[in-house]
Structure 1
Amino acid sequence: MITLREAIYTDYPSILALQRTAFQIEADFLQDNTIQPMTQSLEELEREMKTSLCIVACKEGRIVGSVRASVQDETYVIAKLIVDPSIQNEGLGQRLMRAIEQTCPAGYKLKLFTGKHNHKNIYLYEKLNYKQVSEEVVTARLQFVHMEKKHTLPATEDLEKSE
């Protein structure tokens, strides 16, 4: 059984390790292991978490997924949805997205971005009613699709309380 809860400080090393595992596919496609998710340090993650909410998915005491969000003006920016590659395509990404969305203040816009070539992610976000609003070209290979939707209250995902 997989449970969701808010991340705590002691989760950060596991989140960072899973982030590197999950983003390795992206790094391989881009032929660039220097993308930010691959090089983020524990100290950088700690700073990020001071202004972000992070939800983790746990299975048998091990973190198998996470997602983060932060508020910028009246926009809820969702970032770094990660799922252990060994359990992808089982609905966990969708569960994590719904859980983080329910923490969004009413009336806010939800925004995120993903790699333009990452059709699996784009499909997931479109399934969750995100619409493509712009594209960003960083390099010939690194291109992003920016997506957003108006906040609606999704079905409640029960989060376990961390001790």
Structure 2
Amino acid sequence: MIRIARAEPCDAGEILTVQRAAYVTEAQLYGDPFIAPLIESLERLREVVASALVLKALDGTRIVGAVRGQMQDRTCLVGRLVVAPDRQGRGVGTALMTALEAEAPPEAEEFSLFTGHLSEGNLRLYRRLGYRETRRERVHEHLNLVHLRKKRPT
């Protein structure tokens, strides 16, 4: 049984381990071992956990996933949805996203996120959760970011 809870700064090391494991396949997909989630420092992640809404998915005491939400104006910027490779495809990502949307500050009128154009599993998940593509941004010759948004239900 997966339980979703707020992350604390002491969780940063375990979250970083899950994040790196989860993003290895993305790095391979795009041929870039230096993507931001793989080179993020432990200190930076601790700062994020202390200043943003960061949720963790727990299976017993093991962290098997995480997601971040940061407010910008009236938009909750969703980032770094990660699920341990051995738990992917079992609803952990959906549970984290649903919890983040529910726990976002009341002033959040919409949610915004992005993923890579080749990340079909991510795109399927976000579309299933009601996110709609708003634009594509070419950031490297091998990478286009797909930006998606979702209005908060009233």
Matched AA of 2:91: G
How many residue pairs are counted as aligned between the two chains?
A: 153
1:28 match: 28
Structure 2 gaps, min length 5? none
Extract structure 1 runs of 4+ deviating beyond 4 A.
none
What amino acid is aligned across from residue 148 of structure 1 in structure 2? R
Residue 115 of structure 2 corresponds to: 114
> In structure 2, how many angstroms separate the alpha carbons of the residues matched to 1:95 and 1:26?
21
Letter in 1 for 2:118: H
Shift of 1:45: 1.1
TM-score normalized with structure 2 length? 0.95
Post-superposition Cα deviations, 1:103-156, rounded to whole Å, max 9, x if no partner, equal 222551110001111111111111011000000111011211000011016xxx
Compute the RMSD of aligned alpha carbons: 1.2
Q: Which position in structure 2 is the counterpart of 1:43?
A: 43
User: C-alpha displacement at 1:60, in angstroms?
Assistant: 2.4
Contact 1:106–1:152 (8 Å) recurs in 2: no
Higher helix share: 2
Q: CA deviation at 1:32?
A: 1.3
**Is contact 2:22–2:83 with CA below 8 Å preserved after alignment?**
yes
Q: Which has the higher contact order (CA 8 A, sep 6+)?
A: 1
Quote the residue 1:156 is aligned against: none
1:26-71 residue CA offsets vs partner (Å, 9 max, x unmatched): 0111221111100000111122223311110111211000111000
What is the CA–CA distance in structure 2 between the aligned matches of 1:30 and 1:129, rounded to whole Å? Answer: 26
TM-score (norm 1): 0.90
Q: 2: CA distance between counterparts of 1:35 and 1:24?
A: 9
Q: What amino acid maps onto 1:110 in structure 2? A: F
| Match in the other structure for 2:149 | 148
Structure 2 residue aligned with 1:10 = 10
Q: Give the match for residue 128 of structure 2.
A: 127
The letter of the residue matching 2:17 is: A
Contact 2:77 2:111 in 1 (8 A): yes
Paired position in structure 2 for 1:74 = 74
Q: Percent identity?
A: 37
Contiguous gaps of at least 5 residues in structure 1: 154-163
